[in-house]
Amino acid sequence: MTDDQRTHPAKVADDRTSLLSFLDYQRATLAMKCEGLTAEQLRRRAVPSSGLTLLGLVRHAASVERSWFRLVLKAEDVRPPWPGRVDGTFAEFHVEDAGVEEAFELWHEECARARAVAASFESLDDAVDFRGEAVSLRYVLTHMIEEYARHNGHADLLREAIDGVVGE
């Protein structure tokens, strides 16, 4: 696992550049954590006390990208790619028969769409009305960084349990 596919955020940048680059950095971190693993390893519940898998995290990332950028910010009539709940958890986390290529392809597509949505906003402070509540681009970008950072911590533990690889 190498760090050469990630672009580190600039230490001096305007708010928009900083938020967008940190989000892309977190996206690249999840990709890096999955790099070089087999489909079976990506589906493995590697931490005995958890049902999380790396593939489940990728599917979840695709779902939240779609939800926040397309549903909330652009008001598109989109549905979750893996709808519903199974045993009280989001369906995207149930990966026993999930297609690896399909998950990564959808995730990359949703990231590209999210970048286009973000670019369509003039200001970070531009807001939309979502179900009676104002939601700004700044909020969504900040939330997505937090979402990825939390799950990348999970990905660290999963990857280490799968093959011993550690590191940021």
Residue 158 maps to a domain: yes
Least confident of 62-66, 80-84, 147-151: 80-84
Token duo for residue 15? 């708010």
* Residue owning tokens 């690889």: 165
Residue 129 maps to a domain: yes
Instruction: Find, among 67, 45, 89, the residue nearest to 147 by Cα.
Output: 67
The one-letter code for the residue type at 56 is G
Residue 5 maps to a domain: no
167 in helix, strand or coil? coil
Read off φ and ψ for residue 128, nearest 5 degrees: -120, 160
| Alpha-carbon torsion angle 67, 68, 72, 73, nearest 10 | -130
pLDDT one-digit tens code per residue, 80-93: 898 777 777 788 89
Over residues 49-72, the mean pLDDT reads: 96
pLDDT one-digit tens code per residue, 8-49: 988 999 999 999 999 999 999 999 999 999 999 999 999 989
- For residue 1, is pLDDT > 60? no
Give the rounded distance of the alpha carbon of 43 from its chain centre: 17
Residue 4 maps to a domain: no
Count structural domains, the chain: 1
Range of the domain at 38: 15-163
Residue 6 maps to a domain: no
Residue 1 maps to a domain: no
Give the rounded distance of the alpha carbon of 73 from its chain centre: 16
Residue 115 maps to a domain: yes
Q: What is the CATH number of the domain that holds 68?
A: 1.20.120.450
pLDDT over 90, % of the chain: 82
Mean pLDDT over each residue of the chain, to the nearest integer:
94
CB 54 within 8 A of CB 158: yes
Residue 31 maps to a domain: yes
